[in-house]
Amino acid sequence: MIAVVDYGVGNLRSAAKGLERAAKEEGVDTAVLVTSNPEDLEKADAIVLPGVGAFGACMQSLETSGLRPTVQAAATSGKPFLGICVGMQILFQESDEFGPVAGLGILPGRVERLAAVDVPIPHMGWNAIECFGESPLLSRTEDGTYFYFVHSYAAHPADPGHVAASVRYGGETIVAAVARENVFGTQFHPEKSQGAGIRLLRDFVSRIAGPAGSARDL
């Protein structure tokens, strides 16, 4: 089972529908459950953490829901874990947005306002990414593939090796995706990125292996 974390923010239904389609196309027999129940998250084979809006508001919602420790445990459990948009940003240590505001601290680094010039902020629309390394969750994604972005802040990982993809906007190179062991994050919205997004979600779904739901390495 893939659990989509319901902590009061994010495109939960869109994410769930994208994952359901990806599982069907990949031939993986798994349920997709939108849930705020810690027991569901503990039992899940994979976790997806969506997020929209402000970093601080997302962190507050995670605290208020009581799900912060469960989400942190899931991200360090070895299970496939995907953060989307602000759901990726809050995996880092802190953000400048109305802050500094502390994040989950799963990944070292911070989130800062875009420095792009002569272009609108937020960065909104379709942009082509450049992939780095050999992350399995980008195995079907070629350089120059377009994904859909909506954001005013971007992650700055402390370890450059955690950058899985970047995008150019207004003369600035922005982190588009991150990866470390079982944890993966996208600044773009795969659930809104049509075929390219489904291919990425298929790679995520494919990380679930075996009847016991043991995770393959990311």
Domain residue spans in the chain? Answer: 2-215
Give burial (CB, 10 Å; 0-12/13-18/19+) of 212: exposed
Look at residue 211 in the predicted model and tell me its pLDDT. 36
102, 93 Cβ separation under 8 angstroms: yes
SS3 of residue 35 by DSSP: strand
Q: Considering 26, 85, 123, 151, which one is annotated as catalytic?
A: 85
Look up 131 and say whether it is catalytic: no
- Print pLDDT tens along the chain (218 aa): 999 999 988 779 999 999 999 999 999 999 999 999 999 999 999 999 998 889 999 999 999 999 999 999 999 999 999 999 999 999 999 999 987 999 999 999 999 999 988 899 999 999 999 998 778 889 999 999 999 999 999 999 999 999 999 999 998 999 999 999 999 999 999 999 999 999 999 999 998 853 333 344 44
Q: How many CB atoms lie under 10 A from the CB of residue 1?
A: 15
Q: Considering 123, 151, 162, 189, which one is annotated as catalytic?
A: 189
115, 107 Cβ separation under 8 angstroms: no
Look up 189 and say whether it is catalytic: yes
Q: What are phi and psi of 166, to 5 degrees?
A: -135, 170
Q: Which CATH architecture has domain 2-215?
A: 3-Layer(aba) Sandwich (3.40)
